[in-house]
Every structure is written in C-alpha cells, then in structure tokens.
Amino acid sequence: MNIAAFEAKHQVGSRARLALALLLYTGQRRSDIVQMGRQHIRNGILHLRQQKTGASLAIPVHPTLQAVLEATSSEHLTFLTTHGGSPFTAAGFTNWFRECCNDAGLAKGTSAHGLRKAACRRLAEAGCSANVIAAISGHKSLNEVQRYTAAADQLRMARTGMEAMRKAFPVTTKRTSSYKPE
C-alpha cells in the first residue's frame, strides 16, 4: 500500500486517516480495530482481546496514533463508525476502507490487511525480533511473523543490526604492528 498517497488524500482528523493509523500502529486485524474505542486505552496502553485468537494484548500507543486519536472526534464506544454512527462490521469496514483506498488512487487489491503486514515489516526494519513483533501483532506462530516480514528491507535491517553491534561492542583494537602496506 502506498501509505504516503493515502495520507495525502485523507487528512488527520478524518475517519479514513484514523483507520489507517489504527491498522498501521497496532498491527491488528480489521476485526479487532473495528471494536477499539477510548475505553481500551489506559495510561498510554491499548488493551484488547483479539477476536480471532482470543489473545489478550497490551500495546503501547505510538505517538502518531495518539496524535491522530486526539485530532479525530469520537462520540461512540468504537473509534470507527459508519456514517450513521453504528460500529462497522469487519466486512463493512473492508468495503468502506477499499473505497478510501480508491479515493486515494491506490492500486486495485490494496487492503486493510496490507497495513497489518506493513506494521510487521516496519517493526522488523526498526530492528525488532520476531518475538517482539509477535508481542504487538499477536501472531501465535513465528513462522507467520517471518512470512509477514519477508518484504522487509534487508539492507536497512543489516544497518540497524551493525549499528546496534557498534554501540554494544565499540571498536577496541588499536594498530600495534609495524606492518606498513606498500
């Protein structure tokens, strides 16, 4: 999904931008984000029970998501509602979000599920282990996490890894030999 194109079309404060932020900054399924509301956030932590797996998760709220939440009015128990004010069904949300993607000029086949994968990929590129990613996404299988992060930028991850190693193990060798290259 072209996240920047979606953000350019749907400004902060809109339902579409809130949907994007909930998907991208929680790594949850559509069936879970349509149930989220302000009552699920306590002390900067989003608490939820995944519908599909029953897993209970506590996810720190990313600052970008917090800013979008603060900029978007919500008078209902769920953050995302239909124009009539009812909570979305998972299928209804999918259709509505697809329309938002169409409005942003995104390719056919772009979906909310792609943002779950994007969240996992971003976590991998930030240097997070598969276990850390699963702690956020709620995946039960590390193989699934690996499948979701297969498109991660290898060079970016390698640079992150080398930077972490450089910080943990600073250069300690000094040139002590009398060898002089020709």
Q: Is residue 72 part of a domain?
A: yes
Q: How far apart, in whole angstroms, are the C-alpha atoms of residue 74 and residue 143?
A: 37
pLDDT at position 180 is 65
* pTM as predicted: 0.87
Looking at the 3D structure of the chain, how many domains does it have? 1
Domain containing 94 equals 3-168
User: Does residue 176 have a pLDDT over 70?
Assistant: no
Residue 176 inside a domain? The answer is no
Domain-embedded: residue 163 = yes
**Mind listing the pLDDT tens digit for each residue in 81-136?**
999 999 999 999 999 999 999 999 999 888 899 999 999 999 999 999 999 999 99
Domain-embedded: residue 180: no
- Which CATH number does the domain housing residue 50 bear? 1.10.443.10
Interval 16-73: pLDDT, tens? 999 999 999 999 999 999 999 999 999 999 999 999 999 999 999 999 999 999 999 8
Output the 3-class SS for 40-91. Answer: HEECCEEEEECCCCCCEEEEECCHHHHHHHHHCCCCCCCCCECCCCCECCHH
